[in-house]
Amino acid sequence: MPSLRQEAWYLYRCARLGSAFFRRRLIHCNLQVTYRCNFRCQICDFWKDPHPRSEEFTPEQVRVVGEKLARLGTMIVSLGGGEPLIREDLYQITAILRDTGHFPILITNGWFVNETVAKDILRAGLQEISVSVDYADAARHDAQRGTPGAWDRAVKALELLHRHRPDRRCRVHMISVLMDDNLEDTEKLLRLARDIGVTYYVNLYSSGRGTKSPRLPGSEVQSHLLDLKRRYPEFVSLTSYLESFDQAIREGGIGGCEGGTLFLNVGSGGGVSRCIDTLEDQAGNILTDDVLAIRDRLARLRAEKPCGECWTSCRGFAECMYKAPRARQFAEFYTSVKRR
Ligand SMILES: C[S@@+](CC[C@H](N)C(=O)[O-])C[C@H]1O[C@@H](n2cnc3c(N)ncnc32)[C@H](O)[C@@H]1O
């Protein structure tokens, strides 16, 4: 049970979240806490280069980041990487972000999650945690992830996290990247998520950064996914997000990306860009530069270099919340985060 103080802080942040949405602030930040990773995924490049720990921000610097993001109206801070749980101070980082007024959320491969980690990371103030599971069988997941045992550990992580939620508002999701060979796995993964007791969402593959092969699904997928969404309440991807999948596959993305106006990316050394795929277009360093000047540069980058080369879920979430019918988006968002 949350204390009265915790409940008041939660409600205060909910009110600020509503206000930030209403005022179209830079609502969502992907904060890359590290680019180090214990996996060797075929669909990701970060593990291919060395990333020294010394280049990562410290918890004290995360406090500066948290305070500056609060000035932009950013409410949801998604801890990513690399593998965020490779950092032993992730508990501290999570708590700092909660205390600076955000809803910290996390995506992990699940490898480092044991009973103690599950309890501690959830108690530190995570609002949501997603564990990546791309295939319904261990062999294909482990091959994609370049790590034997990855699937078993991810499923175990989901079970432990679900069991140790401190509060039923704290959400545990399974997340899959939809690629050219796993559409048929979606229903099986939904059933697995349901058996564990967690919710499920998809992220459309992107080959935007680095040297990744084109692996978007080849056929039309939208009607299948929308049908699954109607049949499985565990499927919490927004309907509007799924409704753009066929166009995104046909056109290699969706135009008019709002990176830099509705969401932003902060790298593990403080560098700010619109998203993880446009790291070369820096708008400044959040640790050293004025945050309002960074906001203006982000908006300019978006205007000068319009992009529409992906349809990933972080982008889809921020943008779809503004699509008509707005009431449906908010109802679906509420359903995905309510107590259950
Ligand atoms: C980069 S990972 C970092 C977190 C963690 N290491 C993990 O594997 O879940 C964040 C999310 O992006 C997904 N991802 C990785 N490469 C991707 C790609 N090329 N396109 C779309 N999503 C991708 C991962 O599967 C994961 O769900």
Strand order, beta sheet including 263-266:
199-204, 171-178, 128-132, 103-108, 76-80, 28-32, 263-266, 271-273, 284-285
CA of 83, closest atom in ligand 1: 6
Q: Rounded to a whole number, what is the distance in angstroms from the first to the last CA of the chain?
A: 14
pLDDT for 314 equals 86
**What span, in angstroms and rounded, lies between the C-alpha atoms of 28 and 57?**
19
Tell me how crowded residue 53 is: count the other CB atoms within 10 A of its CB. Answer: 10
pLDDT for 211 equals 67
**What span, in angstroms and rounded, lies between the C-alpha atoms of 167 and 339?**
8
Structure tokens at 103: 């809803």
pLDDT for 187 equals 98
Tell me how crowded residue 3 is: count the other CB atoms within 10 A of its CB. Answer: 8
Query: Which residues does the chain have with pLDDT short of 50?
Result: none
- The pTM of the whole model exceeds 0.85: yes
Residue list, ligand 1 pocket, CB within 6 Å: 37, 43-44, 80-81, 83, 107-109, 132, 175, 177, 203, 205-206, 212, 312
pLDDT for 181 equals 96
pLDDT for 210 equals 65
Beta bridge partner(s), residue 128 = 105, 171
Q: Give the angle 73-75-77 at the CA atoms, nearest 5°.
A: 125
CA of 5 to the centre of ligand 1 (A): 35
pLDDT for 3 equals 87
CA of 1 to the centre of ligand 1 (A): 33
Q: Which domains does the chain have, with CATH numbers?
A: 4-337 (3.20.20.70)
Cβ partners under 8 Å of residue 136, min gap 6: 185, 188, 189, 192
pLDDT for 335 equals 83
SS3 per-residue string spanning 27-60: CEEEEECCCCCCCCCCCCCHHHCCCCHHHCCCHH
CA of 280 to the centre of ligand 1 (A): 19
Mutation choice for ligand 1 from 43, 147, 185, CB with most ligand atoms inside 8 A: 43
Structure tokens at 130: 């997603």
**Tell me, what amino acid is at 338?**
K
Tell me how crowded residue 160 is: count the other CB atoms within 10 A of its CB. Answer: 20
Structure tokens at 268: 């593990």
